[in-house]
């Protein structure tokens, strides 16, 4: 049995035996139990009982290894799943570029070696924020394969 399968079995039995208590609402967006609540292994399947109980909708937004390795906090995940900038039309050119490539803000942060929060601010702003470091713009344009001018809506 794979780590993933073993982790799901462990969660099932932990809930049945009362070791884990499954809440009535999503821990990220607060949707109630009328939507299916699942165990999200935010810290990897090697930590089978270290889960967040979240709705299917939030779980679908947290797909990929970057959301299962313990590198984001619950608050960061909450921002990701509830942000209007990430759940509809991109407000910024930079967000549109990420969407075209299938990249998350987290992946861009890893690629340019910056904090998630700093990259989130850069990506969700309608235009490049005043005072943004030239070196940052150079890194972003380089990893995305575009010119610096292509990053802004202006």
Mean pLDDT calculated for residue range 71-88: 71
CB 119 within 8 A of CB 108: yes
What is the pLDDT, as a whole number, of residue 142?
A: 92
| Per-residue pLDDT tens over the stretch 11-64 | 999 999 999 999 989 998 887 756 788 899 888 889 999 999 998 878 877 877
Counting every residue, how long is the chain? Answer: 154
Between residues 139 and 151, which one has the greater pLDDT?
139
CB 77 within 8 A of CB 71: no
| Per-residue pLDDT tens over the stretch 105-131 | 888 989 999 988 888 888 877 667 777
Distance CA(144)–CA(94), nearest Å, equals: 9
Between residues 28 and 99, which one has the greater pLDDT?
28
Distance CA(16)–CA(24), nearest Å, equals: 15
Label residue 89 by pLDDT band (50, 70, 90).
very low
Mean pLDDT calculated for residue range 82-97: 63
Helix locations, 71-152, DSSP H: 74-82, 93-101, 105-112, 116-124, 134-144
Please tell me the CATH superfamily of domain 93-151, with its number. lambda repressor-like DNA-binding domains (1.10.260.40)
What is the pLDDT, as a whole number, of residue 85?
A: 45
Taking 80 as the threshold, does the pLDDT of residue 149 lie above it? no
In the chain, residues under CATH classification 1.10.260.40 are: 93-151
């Amino acid at each position: 049995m794979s780590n993933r399968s073993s982790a799901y079995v462990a969660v099932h039995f932990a809930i049945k035996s009362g070791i884990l208590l499954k809440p009535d609402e999503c821990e990220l967006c607060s949707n109630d139990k009328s939507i299916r609540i699942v165990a999200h292994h935010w810290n990897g399947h090697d930590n089978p009982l270290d889960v967040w109980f979240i709705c299917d909708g939030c779980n679908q937004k947290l797909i990929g290894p970057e959301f299962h390795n313990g590198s984001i906090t619950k608050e960061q995940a909450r921002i990701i799943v509830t942000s209007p900038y990430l759940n509809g039309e991109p407000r910024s050119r930079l967000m549109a570029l990420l969407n075209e490539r299938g990249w998350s803000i987290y992946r861009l942060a890893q690629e340019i070696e910056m904090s998630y929060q700093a990259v989130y601010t850069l990506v969700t702003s309608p235009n490049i924020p005043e005072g943004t470091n030239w070196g940052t713009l150079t890194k972003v344009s380089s990893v995305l394969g575009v010119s610096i001018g292509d990053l802004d809506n202006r």
